[in-house]
Amino acid sequence: MAHKVVVTREVFDDVLERLRAGATVVDNPSDRPLAPDELAVLAADADALVCALTDRIDESLLARCPKLKVVANIAVGYNNIDLAACTARGVMATNTPGVLDETTADFAWALMLGAARRVTEAERYLREGRWTGWQLKQLLGVDVHHATLGIIGMGRIGQAIARRAQGFSMPVLYCNRSRLDAATERGLNARWVARDELLAAADFVVLMVPYSPATHHLIGAAELARMKPTAVLVNTARGGVVDDRALIEALRQRTIAAAGIDVFEGEPAFDRGFLALDNVVLAPHIASSSTATRRGMAMLAARNALCVLSGERPPNLLNPDAWKS
């Protein structure tokens, strides 16, 4: 009997074809997020689940899906998956690291430049018919070149962001759980510092840490107060890493100059206070959203699922204790 794979959100046709070559596939072409009960009914007899960050994979779901062998997340982050519950039931969980590193780094720079040079504010100004001519002090921003870049979270994406800084002649400060080797630091023109030193010294602070209880509200009112009043904060990590309410207040009071935000607490809901601010660039969690990258993420998730169904260890296994358990 063919294995059954449930795909919880819309994916690319070639990804579905790849899955159908090795399994019976039930997909969600409407791309509507499935309620927990809907997902449980759909996956009740599934062998594999190809899912997204919008899907909560927990004990209550797993208990209703006794045949499930693998949960393949189309994302690097996996805070939507209860790994302990998966491991306890022998369900392998996978993610899609590496595929989106460069694309996400590009977008972090888009937010950085957009916030520094007030791009979205300037576009609104023009579209609303308020531009009457050139002025010397019109929409003054802050320079990116030769400024100090601070990166909190120097993994693959953080390092990709740092590599791009060399083209802007920017020294890099970074804060990470472990220090990079000396050769990598030299290559990135990067210096390892404590977080408080980074916040006080950097002109641009980019967050690239995973979300966990340890990083919840990593940046709050106290941290924002340590930053320069001319500084720009960029969050392409996860919602909840920043205290959004505190950030809105810091932007309103000009405690910092500007921000570029791609992720929010409780998304897709978000604090509407952001909308009243001119000094923030907002995006709807699209840092990895290029055609090539999103296709690559979905294809890697499919590969992870099919590996498990064929009895092979998947390349991106998050809970190795579930392998052959």
Percentage with pLDDT > 70 across the chain: 99
pLDDT at 324: 78
Check: CB of residue 61 under 8 Å from CB of residue 36: yes
Q: Is it the case that residue 257 has pLDDT exceeding 90?
A: yes
CATH superfamily of the 4-97+291-322 domain:
NAD(P)-binding Rossmann-like Domain (3.40.50.720)
pLDDT tens-digit profile of 150-192? 999 999 999 999 999 999 999 999 999 999 999 999 999 999 9
Residues recorded for the chain: 325
The confidence score (pLDDT) of residue 236 equals 96
Residue 325 pLDDT: 58
Any idea which residues carry the catalytic annotation?
238, 267, 285
| Residue carrying structure tokens 């952001």 | 274
Burial class (CB in 10 A: 0-12, 13-18, 19+), 135: exposed
Q: pLDDT tens-digit profile of 110-158?
A: 999 999 999 999 999 999 999 999 999 999 999 999 999 999 999 999 9
Between vectors from CA 287 to CA 194 and to CA 120, what angle results, nearest 5°? 95
Q: What is the DSSP letter of 9?
A: S
The DSSP code for 189 is: T
What average pLDDT does the segment 10-28 reach? 95
Tell me what the mean pLDDT of segment 250-264 comes to: 98
List beta partners, residue 149: 172, 204
pLDDT at 39: 96
CATH class of the region 101-282: alpha beta
Q: What is the pLDDT, as a whole number, of residue 148? A: 98
Look at the pTM and tell me if it is higher than 0.75: yes
| In the predicted structure, residue 1 carries a pLDDT above the cut 90 | no
Q: Which token pair is 129? A: 């018919």
pLDDT tens-place string over residues 179-230: 999 999 999 999 999 999 999 999 999 999 999 999 999 999 999 999 999 9
Return residue ranges of the chain for CATH 3.40.50.720: 4-97+291-322, 101-282
- Give pLDDT, residue 95: 98
Measured CA to CA in angstroms, residue 140 lies from 52, 274, 279 at distances of: 40, 21, 12
